[in-house]
Amino acid sequence: MEPIRRDLKIYGQGSTSGGKFKNVIIKGSGIIKGDMECVNLKVYGDGQIDGNLEVKDTINIKGQTEFNGEIKTKNFKIQGEVQVKGEIFADDTSITGNITTHKDFNAEIFELEGGFTINGLLNADKIKVNIYWPCKVNEIGCSEITVKKDVKISLLGLKDMIKPICNNKILTADIIEGDLIHLENTNAKIVRGNNVTIGDGCKIELIEYKESFKKDKKSIVDKKNKI
């Protein structure tokens, strides 16, 4: 029988080693050195996890956090800025702010208001992105994706924690592949799907579609093929 796990709390400024915990809370500036497993992780302020992380329920970030290993979690909630050096595995992801990953991001649901840089594959069942900062990814694979620029962002009191909204509201990708695709303000080399809608502000080199294709007159598509 596994022993009862204790909570880990860092208030103010501090650091500790990793391990197995119940609830982990960082309020202020905290560093956890080594791999960690817990039920819930909350960071209010600045956090740093120097190891692989497995969270059985929810990661909740309000502020800035750096993860220097792999992440596995059920719910990944971010309000602020996050950097992840390892691969991410999550069921439900909700981001208000900005995230940078060095490897693939895997999720069932990926929702973002803000910006991202994913140096690898964004793999999710449903993707919804409202662009407020540049978004860059090598490849997107999904069932359904919607990319828009005109929904009002809810900064939730984080104006001092994250970068100002910029004019370069563009999603850049090499390949976007899915069943149902709706894109705005997107630059891509290849878009491949069953039903493809290209809204305003897009530049696409090649579109391959199976069932339907629609394009806004202000967008540019160099070549399209029905397959």
pLDDT in tens, the chain (227 residues): 566 789 999 999 999 999 999 999 999 999 999 999 999 999 999 999 999 999 999 999 999 999 999 999 999 999 999 999 999 999 999 999 999 999 999 999 999 999 999 999 999 999 999 999 999 999 999 999 999 986 555 554 555 545 555 567 999 999 999 999 999 999 999 999 999 999 999 999 999 999 999 999 999 999 999 99
Nearest to 191 by CA among 153, 224, 143: 224
Give the angle 99-161-13 at the CA atoms, nearest 5°. 100
Model confidence, pTM? 0.91
CA distance 224 to 10: 55
183 neighbors 167 (Cβ within 8 angstroms): no
Contact indicator for 69, 88 with CB cutoff of 8 Å: no
Distance (Å, whole) CA 223 – CA 13: 55
* Residue for token pair 């202020």: 28
Q: Residue written as tokens 């629609």?
A: 214
Write out the two tokens for 152. 């009002």
